[in-house]
């Protein structure tokens, strides 16, 4: 591929509109040297995602290079002799960069990131991982850095959805022109509530699996303990409630408690109150989200000489460390690695075919039966 005297590329077998737009893009770069993607989008009257595809193709042909926040023309004296680039597709995504932003790098999310890294490596793509925080109020600055400074071609992200800035962040993601897939989150945009692409665990199904397991052992009063700060909480509660009704049990006759943040001074007393309420209501089994809360509850049982599973069966939700405890806890395990893999593949498919329909992927968790559940005495 070469540049002619006007600075345009000699391309063959391409759609006329694509050829014309890329010629205009190269002409604009030859005039201005370097431009931001947003400026090119406005100047050429094309969506940002379309401009990014054009840039990816032209970069593969050795005609442009990405720079901070945009793109620049490669001059003849710095350009290598490139080979003819293949059309953009799932098999020609090598060299693309994905940005990944998750709210924690030390619990739940490391396995999600490992799955994403595996899928990116299989596609010959590069993954840039960044950690946010459950305490942050605004994810948008980190996302802007990934797009503008790192020049990522796509995003896989788990943004905060419970802050005042969440709607603004989601709107920015929907209109920035970079393919984005939400991890363990769902969102809609615009007046018609168009859905964004997402990959989520069916947490309600996981909770229901736990309830059915406990009911099959003969438990008739199955309570639930939830983490107030977890975005998974409403899904776990919904699955618990639906399965309790399905099994012919009465949710009002058992225990339903939401625990405050682990730093709360009320937390320890509330854990003891959970056990008091179990004894008062005859509750013999609990679904506890998440592992840390389940482990703390077992330790409180030990202090009060209550046997697990003899006096109280416990199912943990998350299975991050539940199997390492003594006794090993029966637990629902979300498909963390599969979540990361599926998200990267969704981004890759979107890069290969921007016009494809929006995909929402729901992956089932699994139940790991261990020593913390048994038939009631």
φ/ψ of residue 77, rounded to 5: -75, -15
- Low-confidence residues of the chain, pLDDT below 70? 1-15, 60, 67-69, 75-92, 94, 134-135
φ/ψ of residue 179, rounded to 5: -55, 130
Instruction: Give residues with Cβ within 8 angstroms of 153, minimum separation 6.
Output: 52, 56, 96, 97, 98, 178, 179, 351
3-state SS, one letter per residue, for 63-130:
CEEEECCEEEECCCCCCCCCCCCCCCCHHHCCCCEEEEEECCCCCCHHHHHHHHHHHHHHCCCEEEEE
Cβ contact 346:178 at 8 Å = no
**214 φψ region: left (φ > 0), alpha (ψ -120 to 50), beta (else):** alpha
Cβ contact 246:347 at 8 Å = no
Integer-rounded Cα radius of gyration of the chain: 26
pLDDT of 236 reads: 98
Q: Rounded CA gap, 64 and 88, in Å?
A: 16
Q: Rounded CA gap, 11 and 360, in Å?
A: 36
Question: How many CA atoms lie less than 13 Å away from 347 in the CB half-sphere?
Answer: 31
> In terms of C-beta distances under 8 Å and separation of at least 24 residues, what long-range contacts does 83-86 make, across chains too?
84/1, 85/1, 85/57, 85/60, 85/61
**Reduced to 3 states, what is the DSSP secondary structure of residue 242?**
helix
pLDDT of 55 reads: 81
pLDDT of 51 reads: 81
pLDDT of 7 reads: 45
pLDDT of 226 reads: 97
pLDDT of 86 reads: 44
The residue to which tokens 């406005």 are assigned: 42
Question: How many CA atoms lie less than 13 Å away from 271 in the CB half-sphere?
Answer: 22
Q: Rounded CA gap, 217 and 187, in Å?
A: 38
From the number of C-beta atoms within 10 Å of its C-beta (0-12, 13-18, 19+), residue 302 rates as exposed
For 135, the token pair is 């305490």
pLDDT of 62 reads: 76
Cβ contact 178:140 at 8 Å = no
Instruction: Give residues with Cβ within 8 angstroms of 147, minimum separation 6.
Output: 99, 155, 176, 178
Partnered with residue 362 across adjacent β-strands are 200
Crossing angle (nearest 10°) for helices 37-44 and 16-32? 120
Whole-prediction pTM: 0.79
Q: Rounded CA gap, 74 and 80, in Å?
A: 9
Partnered with residue 71 across adjacent β-strands are 35, 66
Instruction: Give residues with Cβ within 8 angstroms of 358, minimum separation 6.
Output: 194, 195, 196, 197
């Amino acid at each position: 591929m070469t540049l002619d005297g006007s600075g345009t590329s000699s391309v063959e077998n391409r759609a006329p509109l694509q050829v014309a737009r890329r010629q205009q893009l190269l002409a604009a770069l030859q005039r201005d040297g370097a431009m931001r993607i947003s400026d090119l989008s406005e100047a050429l009257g094309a969506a940002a995602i379309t401009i990014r595809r054009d840039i990816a193709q032209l970069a593969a042909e050795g005609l442009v290079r990405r720079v901070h926040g945009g793109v620049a023309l490669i001059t003849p004296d710095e350009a290598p002799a490139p080979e003819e680039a293949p059309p953009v597709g799932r098999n020609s995504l090598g060299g693309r960069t994905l940005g990944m932003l998750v709210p924690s790098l030390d619990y739940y999310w490391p396995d999600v990131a490992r799955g994403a890294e595996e899928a990116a490596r299989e596609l010959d793509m590069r993954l840039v991982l960044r950690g946010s925080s459950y305490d942050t109020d605004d994810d948008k600055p980190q996302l802007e850095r990934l797009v503008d400074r790192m020049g990522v071609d796509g995003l896989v992200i788990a943004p905060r959805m419970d802050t005042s800035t969440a709607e603004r962040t989601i709107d920015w993601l929907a209109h920035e022109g970079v393919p984005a897939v939400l991890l363990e989150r769902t969102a809609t945009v615009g007046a018609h509530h168009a859905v964004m692409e997402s990959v989520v665990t069916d947490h309600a199904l996981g909770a229901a699996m736990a309830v059915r397991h406990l009911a099959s052992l003969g438990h008739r009063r199955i309570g639930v303990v939830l983490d107030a700060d977890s975005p998974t909480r409403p899904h776990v509660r919904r699955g618990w409630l639906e399965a309790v009704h399905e099994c012919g049990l009465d949710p009002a006759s058992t225990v339903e408690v939401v625990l405050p943040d682990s730093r709360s001074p009320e937390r320890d007393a509330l854990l003891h109150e959970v056990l008091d309420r179990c004894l008062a209501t005859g509750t013999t089994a609990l679904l506890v989200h998440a592992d840390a809360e389940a482990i703390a509850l077992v330790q409180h049982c030990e202090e009060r000489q209550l046997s697990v599973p003899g006096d109280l069966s416990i199912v943990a939700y998350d299975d991050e460390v539940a199997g390492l405890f003594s006794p090993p806890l029966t637990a629902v395990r979300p498909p963390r690695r599969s979540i990361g893999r599926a998200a990267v593949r969704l981004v890759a498919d979107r890069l290969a075919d921007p016009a494809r329909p929006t995909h929402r992927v729901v992956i089932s968790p699994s139940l790991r039966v261990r020593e913390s559940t048994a038939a009631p005495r």
